Amino acid sequence: MRSQRFKDAVFASAAPFAMLSRGVWKLKPGGGIRILVPSLEVACRAYLDGDESVLMSFPRPYRSRGGRTVNLLFCDGQHRMGFDFSLMQELLEDVGFADIRVVPRGESRFFPASVLREMEPDEAWLNQSLIVEASR
């Protein structure tokens, strides 16, 4: 189920984990999912360390460390939750996914590099992201 529609539906939904639960059963055995979200761990570390190079002044022109952290994590409401690997793993396991791993940018067990180049944002965003793959 490789689809921009699925990605948009999961993260625009009021119940993203219900969508993931339905999605796992639509995958063929051995099929996989790739999830890219802002990293709660990176955002918290940048906030606590005062690392302004990581925090974002987009989409809202906040000047404060707190406002720029909110931009990074929630991007003006595009994301409803912050995720670190432990939470993502817990939620994916709870809906039936297995072999859950953090994966680097541009590498996948399920998708060719050409698809990743089209789907992944630029490197600046990826350095602040959690990328996880899991299989059915």
| pLDDT tens-digit series, residues 17-74 | 777 777 777 888 889 999 988 999 999 999 999 998 899 888 999 999 999 999 999 9
Give CA–CA dist 77/94, Å, rounded: 25
Q: Spell out where 66-111 has E strands.
A: 98-102
* pTM of the complete model: 0.81
- 75 closest CA partner among 127, 20, 11: 11
For residue 13, the one-letter residue type is: S
Give CA–CA dist 59/79, Å, rounded: 13
